[in-house]
Structure 1
Amino acid sequence: MKVTLFTGLFAILYKTALCGQCPDMWMKFGSNCYFFATDFPGGNFWETAAFCKMFGPNAHLAEINSMAEYYFLRDTVKSLGKWPLGPWLGMIRPHSTKTTYMNPSTGKEADDPEFNEMVHNLESRVQINENCMGFDANGNGFGFWNCTHSGSPLCEIDAGVSIQGTATLILCSLAITLFSCFVNA
């Protein structure tokens, strides 16, 4: 188990930080990688956030920052079509206010005014205890739910800064070779 966990974390680290790629079973959009945990048995908002954190210090529930990212995530959730529970997103409404949401990693709203307007239109229909954002199981609904309800994680991690040049390509190739040797040993 420790070797598997180590090799899994090593794979994530070398692919994301070193090579700017996504780990196996993750999907890339823009500069981020996403893990759609369709087989996760379900947990509340904080349990699913903790699940994502297991992938590394920069991993977290997906935070939407643009309409393009929203459409990518929505369409992917719809296309997977096998969610036992809708996936949580890493966006919350602090309890002190009823009309403002934020991405926890930045402590502010997205930079995209169109996306923010869409969320603010949703917020006018939100109940006072619905503070965590997610998709429904079919990817059709998007909104705020009670954070104690069960959902699946939709995780995000930065794909890293891909440095162009020969040295990086050699380093990535070396890391892939070492990892392959370690796994096959």
Structure 2
Amino acid sequence: MLVVHTLKFKGTARTSLKMGLRLRFLQTIFLGSVLICLDAALGDNISFGMPKFCPLNWTKRNNSCYMTGERFNGVTWYEAAAFCQSFGAHLVEINDKAELAFIDTAAQQVSWVDGPWIGMLRPFGDEFWILPSIRTETQDVDLNKMFGEIAKDSSHDCGGYNRRGKDFGFWRCRRGGSPWCELELATDQQNK
């Protein structure tokens, strides 16, 4: 955003676009210096834009980190997705039956005011659903069939759990829920 300052000299007002540009230039240099310092401090934690370690207070499982946003209740699916994106993450996406078991168990251990949103959408309102980050279904055929059956019986389009964190389903996207974020970690193959 370009900042335009109005300065008064001897009773006359003069808009200084140059001052705004100079200020923006100094802010950019300062931010660049901070990023260079952070890069030096973090060292090997960052790889191809993906972290190697979970942030503080996130739960690690396999190559992902999870953070429940149960204190941020009453948000739409879209607001929850934006919340996760602000951390460089996405809403939790269930990729296989082992992750489904983990998510089912974890969802019931959190005191949700509203149920958590997860990263599943029905873009066409039928039994076809997608994981937004990869824009397709999972590679787990059995899981796809199970979610397809749930989607077929629903008239809503956004994935989530109920308030007790027990029942998965597709809900109204504008219904109140809470974000549940997943951050993918860099793997050794990505480091090569």
Give the TM-score normalised by the residue count of structure 2: 0.71
Cα 1:141–1:53 change in 2 (3 A) is same
Number of matched pairs: 150
Give the TM-score normalised by the residue count of structure 1: 0.73
- What's the % identity of the aligned pairs? 34
Structure-2 residue corresponding to 1:121? 149
Correspondence for 2:77 among 45, 51, 59? 45
CA distance in 1, matches of 2:159, 2:65: 19
Q: What residue identity is the alignment partner of 2:94?
A: I
Indicate conservation of the 8 Å contact 1:26/1:33, yes or no.
yes
Structure-2 residue corresponding to 1:172? none
The alpha carbon displacement at 1:16 in A equals 5.7
Q: Tell me if 1:131 matches 2:160.
A: no
Q: What SS does the aligned partner of 1:71 have?
A: helix
RMSD: 2.5
Pairing 1:29-44 to 2, within 5 Å after superposition: 29-44=61-76
The alpha carbon displacement at 1:97 in A equals 4.3
Pairing 1:79-90 to 2, within 5 Å after superposition: 79-80=109-110, 82-90=111-119
Indicate conservation of the 8 Å contact 1:17/1:161, yes or no.
no
Unaligned runs of 5+ in 1: 1-5, 164-185
Pairing 1:1-185 to 2, within 5 Å after superposition: 14=42, 17=46, 20-56=52-88, 59-80=89-110, 82-94=111-123, 96-127=124-155, 130-162=156-188
Unaligned runs of 5+ in 2: 1-33
The alpha carbon displacement at 1:131 in A equals 0.3
For 1:125-149, what per-residue CA distance to the aligned partner results, in whole angstroms no more than 9, with x for missing partners? 111xx10001112121101001010
